[in-house]
Amino acid sequence: MTGPPPARPDELTQLRELRADAPAPDRAALAPGRALLTDAIAGRNRRARRLRADWRIASLGAVVAITAAALFITQIVDAAAPRHDHLAARAHDPDLSSPAAALNEASGVLTRRKAPVEPRDDQWVYLREVGGTVTERVRAGSSVQVDPSVPQAMDRTDPHKPHETWLKYDGEATERKGTTDLVRRPYSPSRLHRIAITLPRDPQELLAELRRAFPTDAGHRVAGETTDEHNYRAVFTLLDQSYAIPPHALARVYAALATVKDVKVTDHLVRDASGREVIAVTRDSSRINSRLEIFIDPRTYAYAGFREVVTKEHLAWYDGTRYPGDVIGDLARTGTAVVDAKGQKP
């Protein structure tokens, strides 16, 4: 007389035995598969009355197939992730629906950050940039003075070659590696730091203070500009010439920039000279037939560079005919650090 038949293992036991030698994935890896499985089971229940096959075997096959698919998809996503680190670091996409939305969002984030330690006067600021501005062919013997608050010409023979600059924190000029040219600036980094941290909270008072710091009578490129043009240029000059404005001061600058008339923001991230995706705050100037785009890092909200683009065909006395879409300047700031000596790299 034979004994009772052996107990039939349940489906979960079969599943464990089937993938006993497979590595156990973490919860994040299984999340896509779990969602697919839930949808699959819901759909299968709706079709159950029309199926004759054993539902238990079908469910077991679905679990195995979906689990394998989840592991495979996760591997693909993980392999591609390094190419998008600069995007993954953002908690969310920036609000680019309007200048006020984008700049006030940035301001709100910056107000919650702790200010870094200010560099010592004997230290140097290291800047790494890509691109530059088109060389201006100024007529020989011309008495026209170049505005020291406007970024001066840089070598564009190889726009993809990084430019390295060292600024003495308490100095008055910068020196670019590989050339004897000096890019003159009206203020030292330490002076710009003091200007930034003492800016008033009221946006209009802040803009008035920046207009005083960067006046309109410095050269031909700013002659005849309106108050709104002056406001925009002054903010840009502070951002471009400062090493690192403390977060609370930068927050006030962005809030004030949002109030400048005719300022816009591109409704999508754009690529800068280095290929990064950045926020573009823009303003057109009919006086000089160009658009100046201020770039902001969407992760840190730090200043990231600029681009100047021709908006209307015109004749520039030093540069010939310019056409809409011509890029006059395109600079990406890709690295900043404080070092102890000129020529030292972080």
The DSSP secondary structure of 216-282, one letter per residue, reads: GGG-GGGTT--HHHHHHHHHHHHHHH-S---HHHHHHHHHHHTTSTT-EE-SS-EE-TTS-EEEEEE
Shared domain check, 74 and 112: no
- Claim to verify: residue 191 and residue 252 sit in the same structural domain: yes
Query: For residue 23, what pLDDT is reported?
Result: 53
Task: Give a yes or no: residue 155 inside a domain.
Answer: yes
Handedness of CA 317, 319, 322, 328 (dihedral sign): negative
- In this structure, are 33 and 126 located in the same domain? no
State the Cα torsion 149-152-158-160 to the nearest 10°. Answer: 0
pLDDT at 152 over 50: no
Q: How far from each other are the two terminal CA atoms of the chain, in whole angstroms?
A: 85
Confidence of residue 134 (pLDDT cuts 50, 70, 90): low
What is the mean predicted confidence (pLDDT) over 146-169?
60
* Contact (CB, 8 A) for 281 and 232: no
Q: Are 255 and 182 in contact (CB under 8 A)?
A: no
Q: pTM here?
A: 0.65
Highest mean pLDDT: which range of 56-60, 177-181, 252-256: 252-256
Do 76 and 223 share a domain, yes or no?
A: no
Separation CA 346–CA 337 (nearest Å): 7
Does residue 136 sit in the same domain as residue 71? no
Pick the residue with more confidence: 211 or 182? 211
Give domain status of residue 143, yes or no.
Answer: yes
What pLDDT sits at residue 178?
42
Domain annotation covers residue 112: yes
Residues 74 and 132 in one domain: no
* Same domain flag for 124 and 72: no
Task: Show the tokens assigned to 18.
Answer: 């089937």
316-339 as b/e: b if 16+ CB within 10 A = beeeeebeeebebbbbbbbebebe
Instruction: Report the C-alpha gap between 186 and 148 in whole angstroms.
Output: 6
Whether residue 6 lies inside any domain: the answer is no
| Domains: count for the chain | 2
Higher pLDDT, 5 or 123: 123
SS3 112: coil
Residue 92 counted as domain residue: no
Q: Is residue 204 domain-shared with residue 333, that is, in the same domain?
A: yes
Sign of the CA dihedral running 179, 184, 189, 190: positive
pLDDT at 89 over 90: no
pLDDT confidence band for 136 (50 / 70 / 90): very low
Domain containing residue 17: 11-43+56-85
Are residue 123 and residue 31 in the same domain, yes or no? no
Please tell me whether residues 32 and 113 are part of one structural domain.
no
Return phi, psi of residue 226, to 5°.
Answer: -80, 170
Whether the predicted pLDDT of 304 surpasses 60: yes
Pick from 86-95, 154-163, 284-293, 336-345 the range whose average pLDDT is largest.
336-345
Residue 325 lies in a domain: yes
pLDDT higher than 90, residue 17: no
Same domain for 74 and 122, yes or no, is no
Residue 150 lies in a domain: yes
> Does the pLDDT value for residue 95 go beyond 80?
yes
Tell me the pLDDT of the chain averaged across its residues.
73
